[in-house]
Structure 1
Amino acid sequence: MTASDLFVSADDAEWVNPEPGVTRRIMTYLPEMMMVEVVFEKGAIGSKHSHPHIQASYVADGSFEVTIDGRTETLTKGGSFIVPPDFVHGVKALEAGRLIDVFNPHRAEFLK
């Protein structure tokens, strides 16, 4: 890795549509960590799922109903949550919004 690999322009990231009303792009990653921007239309759902990664998420815009391990909270801009490995979690956008997700280790399946 060189110093030029440490800075990433958002313009270089490809958007994908993992679910209806949801788009995401990888902002940057190393094997140990990945940062992803996820944009939701109002009412869009990030379906409940689990994975072996630790996930920390920051609400950059909007408001979300977040469910982790059966507990549901409403978070607004500036809020955050953390998901331990293998906990079932999901979100619903109560208004148009954006999450910044960080995963440890990186989500290899996002790179395909």
Structure 2
Amino acid sequence: MTTKNYFPAEETTVLDVGGGLKRKVAAHNDNLMAVEVHFETGTVAARHSHPHEQITYVISGRFEFVVGDETYIVSAGDSLYKQPHIEHGATCLEAGTLLDIFTPHREDFL
């Protein structure tokens, strides 16, 4: 299997997930995935869990995140870690963009 090393922006597609949420899968392989997520103000990412480890880095905007039993108000430069199977969700307080990193990759995003 050949490993792809370069993922030009013009070759990636922004998927309108609906409800004010758009997603663009960036670089990825079997073990790791980067995903750019765009939120409109007021967009809610419902609480959910998955078997992947996840790090979220806030590129812009302001968000309220619930991770397990904790609530955080985050903005540009902040980051969050979500362990496998922990319930989490977010509400966008000011339009912005997140960078989500998953390990292993999210097959359901490809």
TM class, shorter-chain normalised?
Answer: over 0.9
Which residue of structure 2 aligns with residue 67 of structure 1? 66
Which residue of structure 1 aligns with residue 24 of structure 2? 25
Other structure's SS at 2:45 match: strand
TM superposition score normalised by structure 1: 0.93
The alignment's C-alpha RMSD in Å is 1.0
Give the Cα separation in 2 of the matches to 1:108 and 1:45. 22
4+ runs deviating over 6 angstroms: none
6-15 or 91-100, which deviates more = 6-15
48-57 or 18-27, which deviates more = 18-27
Bigger fraction of residues in helix: 1
Other structure's SS at 2:77 match: coil
What aligned pairs does 1:4-43 form with structure 2 within 5 A after superposition? 5-43=4-42
Other structure's SS at 1:78 match: coil
Other structure's SS at 2:108 match: helix
Percent identity of paired positions between Structure 1 and Structure 2: 37
Give the Cα separation in 1 of the matches to 2:83 and 2:69. 13
- Letter matched to residue 96 of structure 2: G
Give the Cα separation in 2 of the matches to 1:92 and 1:103. 20
TM superposition score normalised by structure 2: 0.95
Structure 1: runs of 5+ lacking an equivalent: none
Note the C-alpha offset of 1:21. 0.1
- CA distance 1:35–1:26, shift in 2 (3 Å): same
Which residue of structure 1 aligns with residue 76 of structure 2? 77
